[in-house]
A = this chain, B = another copy of it.
Amino acid sequence: MKKKRQLPLPAREHYFQRKREKKVLRSRLQSIGQQSGTLIHIGEKRVEKAEIKAIGYDEGQAITLVVKDAAECIALKERFGVLWIDVAGLHETGVIEKIGEIFGIDPLTQEDILHTGQRPKVEDFERYLFMTFQMLEFNSESGELSQEQLSIVLGPGWVITFQEIPGDMFDPVRQRIGSIGSKLRKHKADFLACSLVDAVVDHYFSILEEIETRIDTLDAELMASFSQETFSALNFLKRELIMFRKAVWPLREVIGSVARDDFAVVGDMVEHYFRDVYDHIILVIDTVEVFREIVTSMHETWLAGVNNRMNEVMKFLTMIATIFMPLSFIAGLYGMNFRNMPELNLSWGYYAVLGLMVLIVVGFLGYYRSRRWY
């Protein structure tokens, strides 16, 4: 009874080999026993050295710089209409501290930046606005969702972003900064912050599309066979959706608050754009919920299919068994060795028995047909 069919989904082996390191919880053990207020990076050390990129622009110009030393930022601070400093890598707490000092970022905020695995939140410090949430990445090969914390500090004339590793979904934003006359160039720092958040949310949509493709693949496979592998892949997908929702759900309040409340550093005009982003997040959440319901209904289909298949198997067994049991009994009957069995001596006895057997077979088949068993 070897299995020949293979689940053409990468999820399977991942699931069975259980190599995945991703956890619901990022370990916070390092921080336990630590002085609250001391800058410590909580999370795995993902990169060796923090990369700092600065982009300064206003309507007329747009300059991209690679910053070697955090201290260089002082020089940049008020040189541009809008300054965007992007820090990738949180392990070097010195860098964050230095930047924090230059831009007047509260130590409490610095802590929040360093502690990855946070729940999304927004905090208003009057002179700047602090937002933190999770960027998601869907590995379409392994079917796994990975997350990376993004912190955005929005001050008057500057935006600082902190990511865990280099590489992000902000290239379109950078491109738009680069093109003369783009809307981004005409607006202030708050619009940049909004564009960045929007880019993250847009990426959620593209993940949702990949998940939808996956759901469709699994659905097609479900129709073809009701194997345990499909079920496991389905369950794996379900968990990824649970993770997705956990990451995205609190964003609702966060962006809702930015769009609604009057924060000093966010203009009325940009609040409107944030309201747009808010609508998108609601749409993301709605869609995740719909996907969860669809996965649940696929789960039920699977179970129903297995039940049904069992039913088929049992009907088949019952048909075969109930037909052959009487036949074998009759054969056994005339195989008895009693001395006095008159039928055995009849010359047409054998043929009569054969005829009886045919009658039995026909009778059972008719009965099963009448009950629509085949």
Residues of chain A whose beta carbon lies under 8 Å from any beta carbon of chain B: 1-2, 4-5, 16, 18, 23-25, 27-29, 31-38, 108, 112, 118-119, 121, 171-172, 175-176, 182-184, 194-195, 198-199, 202-203, 205-206, 208-209, 212, 216, 219-220, 223, 225-228, 231-232, 235, 238-239, 242-243, 246, 250, 272-273, 276, 279, 282-283, 286-287, 290-291, 293-294, 297, 299-318, 320-322, 324-329, 331-341, 343-350, 353, 372-374
Contact = CB atoms under 8 A, between A and B. Distances in A.
Contacts of A37: 183
Nearest to A326: B324
Given A24-B212, A121-B279, A324 B329 contact: yes
Contact of A243 (B175, B282, B290): B290
Nearest to A273: B36
Contact of A198 (B36, B171, B273, B308): B36
A2 to B, nearest CB: 7
A306 B56 CA distance: 62
B334 A5 contact: no
Counted per complex, copies of this chain come to 5
Contacts of A228: 304-305, 308
A39 to B, nearest CB: 12
B332 A340 contact: no
Given A239-B294, A331-B336, A119 B279 contact: yes
A343 B328 CA distance: 18
Interchain residue pairs A-B with the least CB separation, the first 9: A33-B172, A331-B332, A324-B325, A334-B336, A338-B350, A37-B183, A317-B318, A335-B335, A1-B374
Contact of A333 (B208, B276, B303, B331): B331
23 contacts: A1-B316, A1-B374, A16-B223, A32-B205, A32-B206, A118-B279, A118-B283, A119-B286, A225-B372, A303-B304, A313-B314, A314-B318, A317-B322, A320-B326, A321-B325, A324-B328, A327-B329, A328-B329, A331-B336, A334-B336, A337-B341, A338-B343, A340-B349
Given A112-B276, A223-B232, 8 more contacts: A24-B290, A32-B202, A32-B203, A119-B283, A302-B304, A318-B320, A327-B332, A334-B337
A108 B287 CA distance: 24
Contacts of A29: 205-206, 209
A194 B308 CA distance: 50
Nearest to A286: B246
Given A1-B374, A208-B25, A321-B320, A334 B338 contact: yes
- Among A108, A203, A313, find the residue whose CB has the most chain B CB atoms closer than 10 A: A313
Given A301-B232, A353-B336, A209 B27 contact: yes
B297 A238 contact: yes
A195 B327 contact: no
Contact of A24 (B35, B220, B246, B287): B287
A317 B314 contact: yes
A198 B115 CA distance: 15
Contacts of A373: 1
Contacts of A317: 314, 317-318, 321-322
Nearest to A225: B372
Nearest to A335: B335
A35 to B, nearest CB: 5
Nearest to A334: B336
Nearest to A198: B36
Given A182-B35, A331-B333, A337-B335, A24 B353 contact: no
